[in-house]
């Protein structure tokens, strides 16, 4: 009898088993948020490291050439390996800093080829993603929908191109709001043969020097001496806002703030602005409620977006940053006034 009772007490009852399962489930539920938070912290750190490397590449570019990488000729141009850097380079800032990111092989695609051959070769450039331009909190480093063509490069048949989750600081004013300059696709393809005698449209030397006050301008690059507010007080590159639905790179929506490759010239895919007294410029976390053509900075992180300043330091910026303080970060020479009506800001190299 005693042995029988011992055997019966040694076995689990169904109720006891259910209690154990419930406790395990509760522990998992309690631990899961902490695990997810730790994973996101790791992704956020990786995102910050990407910005730190981009900032260092900009600084090395400036040390070698005397100015930061330029923003390129316009949104229908991509990088050209035979056009050097600065105002002669039609591609955007990300293309120009590639040699300083140990990505010279991508920067050199199509070098030395005749124009027709190069146009086909540059297709490979447009479809080559580079991990350092993606934030792992948002999306993996793979191609996504980008139906916009380029004057100097063929487009992929499947319309999938390399993307970026970061944008350079274009200053206070985007060309479509409170800036009388306006947008341009850039000069026609013949500019490659006639440079510098090209039709620059609104991006003339005079207009760029007068109306653009960020760290990265269309065409004319910014030398360090023009960052008059100080390199530790001026934003260089930061995470860009993107609607939630565009995180899925299988989407086929033609959004004008993420519809071209990361190597393109001046456009809101690769440039954002800081005129925070206008609601559409206020930084915010990614959301489904936003116009397709966003001009704001932001990120997939809950409380902050990350930025690298012109001195190479990386900062997490709260979304509720004071409006004036954010405008001051955007303008390289506002003297603490924030975004005033566009006036001559001393930009460019001329």
Q: Strand locations in 193-341, DSSP E?
A: 235-239, 271-272, 284-285, 298-299, 304-309, 314-318
Sign of the C-alpha dihedral computed for residues 216, 220, 224 and 229 taken in this order:
negative
- Of 327, 308, 142, which is closest to residue 239 (Cα–Cα)? 308
- Please say whether the beta carbons of 92 and 79 come within 8 A: yes
pLDDT in tens, 329-345: 999 998 888 886 554 44
What's the maximum distance between 2 C-alpha atoms anywhere in the chain? 107
pLDDT at 346 over 50: no
Answer with the residue of higher pLDDT: 65 or 4: 65
pLDDT of 32? 73
pLDDT at 293 over 90: no
Q: How far apart are CA 294 and CA 76, in angstroms?
A: 18
The two structure tokens encoding residue 343: 């006036």
The two structure tokens encoding residue 234: 């001026």
- Of 276, 177, 290, which is closest to residue 242 (Cα–Cα)? 290
pLDDT at 98 over 50: yes
β-strand partners of 305: 317
Q: State what percent of residues in the chain have pLDDT above 70.
A: 91
Q: How far apart are CA 219 and CA 92, in angstroms?
A: 9
């Amino acid at each position: 009898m005693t042995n029988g009772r011992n055997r019966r007490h040694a076995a689990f009852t169904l109720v006891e088993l259910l209690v154990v399962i419930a406790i395990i489930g509760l522990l998992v539920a309690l631990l899961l948020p902490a695990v997810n938070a730790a994973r996101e912290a790791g992704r956020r750190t990786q995102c910050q490291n990407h910005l730190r490397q981009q900032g260092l590449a900009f600084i090395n570019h400036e040390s070698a050439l005397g100015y930061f990488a330029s923003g390129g000729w316009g949104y229908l141009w991509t990088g050209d390996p035979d056009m050097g850097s600065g105002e002669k380079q039609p591609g955007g800032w990300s293309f120009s800093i590639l040699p300083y990111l140990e990505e010279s092989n991508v920067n050199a695609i199509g070098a030395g080829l005749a124009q027709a051959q190069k146009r086909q070769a540059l297709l490979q450039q447009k479809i080559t993603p580079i991990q350092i331009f993606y934030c792992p909190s948002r999306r993996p480093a793979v191609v996504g929908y980008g139906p916009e063509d380029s004057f100097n490069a063929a487009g992929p048949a499947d319309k999938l191109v390399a993307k970026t989750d970061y944008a350079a600081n274009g200053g206070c004013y985007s060309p479509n709001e409170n800036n009388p300059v306006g947008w341009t696709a850039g000069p026609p393809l013949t500019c490659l043969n006639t440079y510098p005698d090209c039709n620059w449209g609104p991006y003339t030397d005079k207009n760029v020097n007068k109306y653009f006050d960020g760290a990265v301008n269309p065409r004319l690059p910014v030398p360090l001496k023009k960052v008059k507010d100080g390199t530790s007080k001026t934003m260089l590159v930061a995470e860009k806002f993107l609607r939630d639905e565009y995180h899925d790179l299988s989407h086929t929506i033609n959004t004008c703030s993420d519809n071209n490759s990361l190597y393109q010239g001046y456009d809101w895919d690769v440039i954002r602005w800081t005129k925070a007294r206008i609601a559409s410029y206020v930084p915010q976390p990614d959301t489904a409620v936003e116009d397709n053509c966003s001009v704001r900075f932001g990120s997939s992180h809950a409380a902050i977006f990350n930025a690298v300043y012109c001195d190479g330091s990386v900062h997490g910026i709260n979304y509720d940053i004071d409006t004036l303080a954010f405008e001051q970060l955007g303008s390289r020479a506002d003297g603490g006034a924030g975004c005033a009506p566009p006036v001559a800001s001393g930009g460019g190299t001329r």
